[in-house]
Amino acid sequence: MDIILLGPPGAGKGTQSQRLVETRGMVQLSTGDMLRAAVKAGTPVGLKAKAVMEAGELVSDAIVSALIGEHLDQSRDKGAIFDGFPRTQHQAEALDILLDERGRKLAYVIELEVDEEALVERITGRFTCASCGAPYHERFRPTQIQDQCDVCGGHEFKRRPDDNEQTVRTRMAEYRAKTAPILPYYEARGLVARVDGMASMDEVTRQIDTVLDR
Ligand code: AP5
Ligand code: ZN
C-alpha cells in the first residue's frame, strides 16, 4: 500500500512515518531526508539544495521528483510512505506518473490537521540522535536518561539548521502557498483522510491505523 502523509512542517510526518516503518514494515521515502543526505555528502544535488533548504524555500520539482524516482523501487513489496513529497502540483503529477509506470496506485493521502502556531514550538524544540537518527523533543519527547539516546545509547545529538523560528515561518508560508493547494487534486479522487495532528503521538498513530485498516 502506498500512502502520502501531508502536513506543514512539524505536523508529525516524520514521527508517524517512523512508526509505520516499525509496525508495518513500510518504507519511508522522505525527500527532506534524501536532500539532507545529499547536502552531507556534498553531491551536486546537495550543493544546489543547501542554501534553498536553509532559507526554508522549496528545492526544484525536477530534483526532488528525480530523487523519489531513484528510491521508489525499494518500497515495491511493503509499500511507501511519502513523507514531505509531493509538495507542489507538479510533484503530485510526477508521482502519479512514477507510480503508474510501475502499476502502483495511491491508497490514501493522510492529512495531518494542525495548528500552525503550536508547530513552531514543536520544531524549535526538536533534536535527533546523531548516531541512529531517533527523533526527540525537549518537551514532548525527551530522552529517558538525560543526554543518552533511548534507542542506541548514543550521547551525541543534533539539530537541523532550518529549525529556527524565522525559517520555520518561511517553510509554513511555502506550505500554505504551494502544498495545501494540491489537496483538491486528491480530494477529487476520494483519497484524502484527515487525522487530528494536534492529538498525542499515540492518538495520531491510532487514527492513522484506523484509516489504513479500513
Ligand atoms: P522536510 O524534511 O520534509 O521538513 P518539513 O516538511 O518542514 O517537515 P518536518 O520534518 O519539519 O516535520 P514533520 O512533519 O516530519 O514533523 P516531526 O515528526 O519531525 O523538508 C525540509 C526542507 O527540504 C524543505 O523546507 C525544503 O527546502 C526541502 N524539501 C523537502 N522535500 C521537498 C520537496 N518535496 N520539494 C521541494 N523541497 C523539498 O515532528 C516535529 C517535532 O514535533 C518532533 O520533535 C516530534 O517529536 C514532535 N511531535 C510530533 N508529533 C507530535 C505530537 N502529536 N505531539 C507532540 N509533539 C509531536
Ligand atoms: Zn540513537
Atom of ligand 1 nearest to the CA of 7: 14
The pLDDT assigned to 117 comes to 87
201 lines ligand 1 (CB under 6 A): yes
Check the annotation: does 132 bind a ligand: yes
Note the pLDDT tens digit of each residue in 110-138: 999 999 888 999 999 999 999 999 989 99
Q: Indicate whether 82 pLDDT > 90.
A: yes
Check the annotation: does 153 bind a ligand: no
Q: List Cβ neighbours of 54 (8 Å cut-off, separation of 6 or more).
A: 161, 162, 167
50 lines ligand 1 (CB under 6 A): no
The pLDDT assigned to 179 comes to 98
What's the gap in Å between 41 CA and the centre of ligand 2? 21
Tell me which residue has its CA closest to atom 6 in ligand 1: 9
Atom of ligand 1 nearest to the CA of 52: 27
ipTM above 0.90, yes or no: yes
Q: Which three cell numbers stand for residue 53?
A: 533548504
Note the pLDDT tens digit of each residue in 49-81: 999 999 999 999 999 999 999 999 999 999 999
pTM of the shown model: 0.94
The pLDDT assigned to 198 comes to 95
Spatial contact of 59 and 38, defined as CB atoms under 8 Å apart: no
Mean pLDDT of 9-30: 96
Q: Indicate whether 24 pLDDT > 90.
A: yes
The pLDDT assigned to 37 comes to 96
Mean pLDDT of 12-26: 96
| Mean pLDDT of the residues in the chain | 96
- The residue behind cell 523560528 is 165
The pLDDT assigned to 10 comes to 93
Q: Name the residue among 55, 59, 58 with its Cα closest to residue 167.
A: 55
Q: Please, which pLDDT band fits residue 35 given cuts at 50, 70 and 90?
A: very high
* Interatomic CA distance for residues 77 and 35, integer angstroms: 24
